[in-house]
Structure 1
Amino acid sequence: MPISARNVFKGSVTAIKEGPIHAEVVVTTPGGDSIVATLTEASVQSLGLKLGSTAVAVIKAPSVSLMSGAPEYRFSARNQLTGTVSAIHAGAINSQVTLTLAGGSRLVAVVTNDAVSALGLKTGEAAIALFKAGHVMVGVPV
């Protein structure tokens, strides 16, 4: 499936928490990495999402923030995934940073070169990816 977003996590729906307007849907990869998405109830119904459904979670790389070191604060971002920096590709202004998550999935963030420097990001070092559940799109096979 060609798509411009760099982060496409194939997996299955492992949780659905429904509400009157929105639902929280968890897509878990075969390696155990879980992505939480906030969708409208209408989307849950139109996609036919049920526990065990095959699905993809899609996150655009610029929607991912990174954090390094021991957290000093708690954040409202529903997705906070710890990984190891496996690649950093610097551009003129921004860098593409790839994390390998515990379950083996790779997640890409686009952050400024200044952020890479300020966070002390280096290949082989731990980092945390943060992104809001509202920035996650969910897709199902046709």
Structure 2
Amino acid sequence: MEQTRHRLRGKLEVDTDLGSFLGDTRIRLLEAIAEHGSISRAAKAVPLSYKAAWDAVDTMNNLADEALVTRATGGKRGGGTTLTDYGRKMIALYRALEAEYQAALERLAASMQDAGATDIRDFQRLLRRISMKTSARNQFAGTVVALRDGGVDFEVHLRIDADHELVAIVTRDSATNLGLAIGTEVHALVKSSAVLLLTDPGLRVSAGNQLWGEITRIHDGPVNCEVTLAIPGGKSICAVITQHSAERLGLAVGGRAGAVFKASDVILCLYT
């Protein structure tokens, strides 16, 4: 009986040292932004929901060394969206890697013709196990710039860009397991439900992290709403608060607000 030929097809992802950065859907979104100059039209072309498209853009800008996409605020659905030169370079890099990647898979498939079906299934299971996704809405790439020993825990200061730092509190065991040291690159995760919003810069709070920016989106729900702030430098942060709180604070697209969260609400991850 003729042996069945197994063809390998994979989805390419370009990762930073701190996690997933670019994949096929995100690349097609960037290409659509370059073509249409509008996030809403680009989302329809992919297709993605308007919210999912903005979430993807925010994540890419947060993890990139430079902004891939810039926006001009013009109301809840207004304004323009532009791909930067850096964004165009990332598309070109991805498409070149994609071609090399598929060629490598074809060579691997040819070399596996003598392998049994069980070996291939084991390989597939291994690939699934080493994949990881997180539900945390806010993700930041950072470098450890300070470590303060608190006896049973460490206060970790992360530089996420030229103007902003985050503070995290982790146990001594966690710091040891992660191998934290000055210069270590880590991924900081913050759940959107842990983020509080302020509108008064003079209000004093005990939370160790404050990031101020412009409100770019408010996604309304029946009870809660999701508020996204654009932070200077191209990054963003999202908070989920009640509709009552949003109304009481007078939140609106184009307004200014501060995202506040405790150091203990920051989770650190190290990708190896």
In structure 1, give the amino acid aligned to 2:254.
G
- Is the Cα contact below 8 Å between 1:97 and 1:109 reproduced in 2? yes
Shift, 1:30, TM fit: 3.4
Aligned to 1:125: 255
User: How far apart, in 1, do the equivalents of 2:162 and 2:271 lie?
Assistant: 20
- Is the Cα contact below 8 Å between 1:38 and 1:134 reproduced in 2? yes
* Aligned 1:95-114 pairs, distance under 5 A: 95-114=225-244
* Aligned 1:47-126 pairs, distance under 5 A: 47-71=178-202, 73-126=203-256
Query: Over the residues paired in the alignment, what is the CA RMSD in angstroms?
Result: 1.3
SS of residue paired to 1:115: helix
Aligned to 1:44: 175
User: How far apart, in 2, do the equivalents of 1:38 and 1:10 lie?
Assistant: 16
Instruction: Give every structure 1 segment of 4 or more consecutive aligned residues whose post-TM-superposition deviation is greater than 6 Å.
Output: none
User: How far apart, in 2, do the equivalents of 1:39 and 1:117 lie?
Assistant: 35
Aligned to 2:142: 11
Shift, 1:36, TM fit: 0.6
Aligned to 1:22: 153
Shift, 1:11, TM fit: 1.7
In structure 2, give the amino acid aligned to 1:43.
S
Larger RCO: Structure 1 or Structure 2 (Cα < 8 Å, ≥ 6 residues apart)?
A: 1
SS of residue paired to 2:175: helix
In structure 2, give the amino acid aligned to 1:121.
L
- Is the Cα contact below 8 Å between 1:31 and 1:104 reproduced in 2? no
Aligned to 2:56: none
- Is the Cα contact below 8 Å between 1:83 and 1:99 reproduced in 2? yes
- Normalised by the length of structure 2, the TM-score is 0.50
- Is the Cα contact below 8 Å between 1:10 and 1:57 reproduced in 2? yes
Whose strand proportion is higher, 1 or 2? 1
- The unaligned stretches of length 5 or more in structure 2 are 1-19, 21-132
In structure 1, give the amino acid aligned to 2:271.
P
Shift, 1:103, TM fit: 2.7
SS of residue paired to 1:74: coil
Aligned length: 141
Shift, 1:83, TM fit: 1.1
- Is the Cα contact below 8 Å between 1:27 and 1:56 reproduced in 2? no
Shift, 1:69, TM fit: 3.0
SS of residue paired to 2:258: strand
Whose helix proportion is higher, 1 or 2? 2
Shift, 1:31, TM fit: 4.7
User: How far apart, in 1, do the equivalents of 2:136 and 2:175 lie?
Assistant: 21
In structure 1, give the amino acid aligned to 2:246.
V
- The unaligned stretches of length 5 or more in structure 1 are none
